[in-house]
Amino acid sequence: MPDPVTDTVARALVDPAKFRSLMTTHPAGVAIVTTTARDGEPWGMTCSSMCSVALQPPTLLVCLRAESPTLTALLQVSAFSVNLLHDRAVPAANLFASGAADRFEKVKWVPEPEFGLPHLLEDAHTIADCRVSRTLPVGDHLVVFGEVLQVETQSNQPPSPLLYGMRQYGSLKVTRTDA
């Protein structure tokens, strides 16, 4: 009699193109992960693989490509910011996904006063500053766990978070219901 557990474990993994197709059907929030290398140079990349992990201590995770220069800089300083993008930040999301060397010259950013991490004030509705607590290699990515040191909200208005799914951008319009 076949053993469903053993048979499942023995099966080949799905083709990467099919897996990518699966993941595009699951909309995710869009963020730009930023850091500053030891030499002061800002680095950043668009990221939709981010989620909360724990409340005590407040921890989130981001998944970054193992060969990313942003990841290299982030690991040097053991700190990063997660800039959660609003729905008007599609140009910034595309710019930081492109890998363009001059991306920080094309957006408005400021170094956060205490940690010096790049904050994208015009493109983010909320920014979290994190210190690296651990990492975990998985395939061609590194999962980076960050303990959240500070959260800064950019506006009194409800955010309209930028989403990415089905290979296109969208947003979640939120209206305030409190009086």
pLDDT in tens, the chain (179 residues): 666 666 667 788 888 888 888 877 778 899 999 999 999 999 999 999 999 999 999 999 999 999 999 999 999 999 999 999 999 999 999 999 998 999 999 999 999 988 899 999 999 999 999 999 999 999 999 999 999 999 999 876 677 899 999 889 989 776 666 54
- CA 170, CA 167: separation in Å to the nearest integer? 10
Which tens digit of pLDDT belongs to each residue from 47-83? 999 999 999 999 999 999 999 999 999 999 999 999 9
80-117 per-residue burial string, b: 16 or more CB within 10 A, e: under 16 = bbbbbbbbebbebbebbbeeeeebbeebebeebeebeb
pLDDT of residue 146: 97
pLDDT of residue 4: 63
Superfamily of domain 28-160: Electron Transport, Fmn-binding Protein; Chain A (2.30.110.10)
State the SS3 of 83-142.
EEEECCCHHHHHHHHHCCCCHHHCCCCEECCCCCCEECCCCEEEEEEEEEEEEEEECCEE
3-class DSSP state of 14:
coil
- CA 85, CA 82: separation in Å to the nearest integer? 9
Write down the domain spans for the chain. Answer: 28-160
